[in-house]
Chain A
Amino acid sequence: MARPLVTWQLFLKASSLQRKRAVLTVAAIAWGTVAILMLLAFGQGLREQLMRGRRGMGENIAVVWPGETSKIWEGLPTGRAIRPRMEDIEYLRHRIPDVRFVGEITSWSTTLSYGRKTITGRVTGTNWEYGDLRNHYPQPGGRFLNPLDEIEKRRVAFVGDAMAKEIFGSENPVGRILQINRAPYLVIGVMQHKLQMGAYGGPDEDHVVVPITTFSAQLGRQRLNNIVFKVDRPGQMVGAIQRFRQVLGKKYRFDPQDKQVLGIWDTVRGARIMDNITIGIRLFLGIVGALTLLVGSVGVANIMYAVVKEKTREIGVQMALGARRGWVTGPIVMQGLVYTLLGGATGLLIAVVLVMLIGLVPTAGNQALEFLGKPTLSWPIAAATAAILGTLGILSGYFPARRAAGINPAETLRYE
């Protein structure tokens, strides 16, 4: 036993009288720590899931719909339909080289058949770069469209995973012939399953993708249903949209300020809002956890108050013998801290085990669980919790210690 800590030892002996309460309080702190860690961990898991889901459609992209003019421009009337054409993609790429463009020709109720199975579904004719822009990655053994498919107008199809299951069942679709409006297409790949939150027209797992050139020829259509473009960094999106409107405005003669001509869904902006929402959620969860901890700390402080009250005479004796305030307060503050950190360490251990156990629960197939994501503990969460615990620990000892320091030895030692 360290001799210089006789008073410390004294206080430990004193607190053992409060053992039952101490155990309860450490448990309360542990519970608070578990609560704050789990809440933050779920918040983190949710955040990561949202980010993944958001990226599911594509990162830093904007989606464009055609519309009608609502402003008079260069003597032309309002209400003119502006429908960009397939060759505008090349034109846009040429005029705005640092932004990547693809066009889409969509056909909704298309007959899709394989063998005896026939369904109606959505088919998208698009450029080969679409795979990267819109996160269409092939499952092993398949591929997405390539430049030659587009140039040679090949009849090849890339199938969404849900649709593949519906048409082909348990068969491997790659290498089979899929009839699209009674024209035979060779299936070259099936999309890897992905979590997707945003969508237009429908989820990506539910459509078939074919080369835009092939599809345009088959349908005899030149007009695009959508244009999708992608910037490298989120900050470039506003400028890209502006230039996009100017380039097409010049070509089709409409006011670049006219928002009705082209509907543009800027996913970067949506993402920022989503970020703020998740920050809000996590802040809320963190505050709830912190309040739980605070309640535990009040418990610690109460124990220390009880110890001080019980030991008033002994503290008075120590003061009479020449103990400075630090001698009296130090052990109390230390003890509050020790109780709190003990509870915190216990809570951390429990939380880690819980997170691991929850990680073992299978979520595939259960949409609600899949959306919720897995709770994730991170260093920032641990650091924040440790900081809160440390602060509360010191405070829970500080106030009782202050009371102890205020003891008047003469009054305490009065003997009648």
Chain B
Amino acid sequence: MNWPSLRKSNGGPPSSNGRIIEMNNVRKVYDTGKVRVEALRGIDLSVAEGEFVAVVGPSGSGKSTLLNLLGCLDTPTDGRYLLAGDPVADLDRDGLAEIRNRRVGFVFQNFNLLPQLTALENVEMPLLFGGVGGRKRRERARDLLERVGLGDRLEHKPTELSGGQMQRVAVARALAMDPAVILADEPTGNLDTTSGVDVLTLLSELWRQGSTLVVVTHDPALAERAQRVVEIRDGLVVADSRNGSTSH
């Protein structure tokens, strides 16, 4: 499949020296009162603009936790995190919401589309929160859906779409605000092989067009397509391989 250009260059994020993600010794402790889980125990990770990083590791190793921290859905217990050059540690909830809106695009394993809304309206949501006006918002959403091959499904509700189509809507939604990085947590995990390959191809295409991607996956096919594979075990980065050559 040949994807038309999805990404309009925004000239790159400011003052990041090409580093979209810069994490130093980040720890995350879940303390539910009874149990205390150290999900991340000191992560160092840096991702350059335009990289395609696959995060792999066994279940429960902390991959989703890491992705949530990267996307400012949650805040680290300890450590330093710069997103596109800006420290996010001191932001309040609304500040974090704005970062998520402008700098990050999420793709989830279970799609997380809003069930009452059409595909178009779903893609409009981030634009709505970002203050993009009605006409422009609809145009951009339609554009994005056409580019992921769903131009004929604009008015469909999520329940009227296949899994692969839903995930493509989710990708279009993640692209809506032209984010600095796209974070995907097992994006093919709920898809059959064909749909999985579709979404995979779409993500590769995005990368080729200049998007920065961090993708958590169990899928060897996906990890293979990535430029770089980061392996996590028990809350620590245990391997970071690039183009087949491993380095610690």
A residues apposed to B, CB below 8 Å: 3-4, 6-7, 9-10, 13-14, 313-314, 317-325, 327, 405, 408-410, 413-415
Expressed in whole angstroms, the minimum distance between the Cβ of A298 and any Cβ of chain B is 27
Which among B2-10, B47-55, B78-86, B114-122 touches the partner chain? Answer: B114-122
Taking the complex as formed, is B134 at the interface, i.e. its CB lies under 8 A from any CB of chain A? yes
Q: Is the CB of A327 within 8 A of B129?
A: yes
Q: Is the CB of B100 within 8 A of A322?
A: yes
Taking the complex as formed, is B89 at the interface, i.e. its CB lies under 8 A from any CB of chain A? no
Q: Is the CB of B134 within 8 A of A4?
A: yes
Least CB separation from A7: chain B residue = B128
- B112: chain A residues at CB < 8 Å are 313, 317, 320, 413
| Contact among A313, A320, A323, A408 for B106, CB-based, below 8 A | A320
Q: Is the CB of A3 within 8 A of B134?
A: yes
Complex alpha-carbon distance, A13 and B121, angstroms: 14
- A409: chain B residues at CB < 8 Å are 73-74
Complex alpha-carbon distance, A314 and B113, angstroms: 8
Complex alpha-carbon distance, A325 and B94, angstroms: 7
Expressed in whole angstroms, the minimum distance between the Cβ of A339 and any Cβ of chain B is 19
- A313: chain B residues at CB < 8 Å are 112
Q: Is the CB of B100 within 8 A of A320?
A: yes
Taking the complex as formed, is B207 at the interface, i.e. its CB lies under 8 A from any CB of chain A? no
Q: Is the CB of A413 within 8 A of B129?
A: no
Expressed in whole angstroms, the minimum distance between the Cβ of A329 and any Cβ of chain B is 12
Q: Is the CB of B110 within 8 A of A415?
A: yes
Least CB separation from A323: chain B residue = B129
- B109: chain A residues at CB < 8 Å are 415
Q: Is the CB of B64 within 8 A of A322?
A: no
Q: Is the CB of A322 within 8 A of B129?
A: yes
Least CB separation from A313: chain B residue = B112
Q: Is the CB of A321 within 8 A of B116?
A: no
- A14: chain B residues at CB < 8 Å are 116
Range, interface on chain B = 35 or more
Q: Is the CB of B93 within 8 A of A322?
A: no
Q: Is the CB of A410 within 8 A of B128?
A: no
Q: Which of A4, A9, A14, A410 has the most CB of B within 10 A?
A: A410
Expressed in whole angstroms, the minimum distance between the Cβ of A321 and any Cβ of chain B is 5
Complex alpha-carbon distance, A375 and B143, angstroms: 64
- A405: chain B residues at CB < 8 Å are 93
- With known contacts A324-B94, A324-B98, A317–B114 Cβ distance under 8 A: yes
Q: Is the CB of A322 within 8 A of B97?
A: yes
Complex alpha-carbon distance, A69 and B51, angstroms: 112
Least CB separation from B124: chain A residue = A6
- B173: chain A residues at CB < 8 Å are 321
Complex alpha-carbon distance, A14 and B117, angstroms: 11
Known: A6-B117, A313-B112, A321-B101. 4 other contacts (CB 8 A): A6-B124, A321-B126, A408-B74, A414-B64
- 15 residue pairs bridging A and B, Cβ less than 8 Å apart: A4-B134, A6-B121, A6-B128, A14-B116, A314-B115, A317-B114, A320-B71, A322-B99, A322-B102, A322-B177, A324-B97, A413-B73, A413-B112, A415-B108, A415-B109
Taking the complex as formed, is B130 at the interface, i.e. its CB lies under 8 A from any CB of chain A? yes
- With known contacts A3-B134, A325-B94, A318–B125 Cβ distance under 8 A: yes
- B97: chain A residues at CB < 8 Å are 319, 322-325
- A318: chain B residues at CB < 8 Å are 114, 125, 129
Q: Is the CB of B73 within 8 A of A410?
A: yes
Q: CB-defined interface of B201-237 with A at 8 Å, one 1/0 digit per residue?
A: 0000000000000000000000000000000000000
Complex alpha-carbon distance, A317 and B169, angstroms: 14
Complex alpha-carbon distance, A9 and B118, angstroms: 12
Taking the complex as formed, is B185 at the interface, i.e. its CB lies under 8 A from any CB of chain A? yes
Taking the complex as formed, is B68 at the interface, i.e. its CB lies under 8 A from any CB of chain A? yes
Q: Is the CB of A321 within 8 A of B93?
A: no
- A327: chain B residues at CB < 8 Å are 129
Complex alpha-carbon distance, A322 and B97, angstroms: 4
| Contact among A10, A314, A415 for B185, CB-based, below 8 A | A415
Expressed in whole angstroms, the minimum distance between the Cβ of A38 and any Cβ of chain B is 40
- B130: chain A residues at CB < 8 Å are 322
Q: Is the CB of B114 within 8 A of A322?
A: no
- B117: chain A residues at CB < 8 Å are 6, 10
| Contact among B68, B98, B137, B185 for A322, CB-based, below 8 A | B98
Q: Is the CB of A410 within 8 A of B114?
A: no
Q: Is the CB of A13 within 8 A of B185?
A: no
Q: Is the CB of A325 within 8 A of B93?
A: yes
Expressed in whole angstroms, the minimum distance between the Cβ of B133 and any Cβ of chain A is 9
Least CB separation from B137: chain A residue = A3
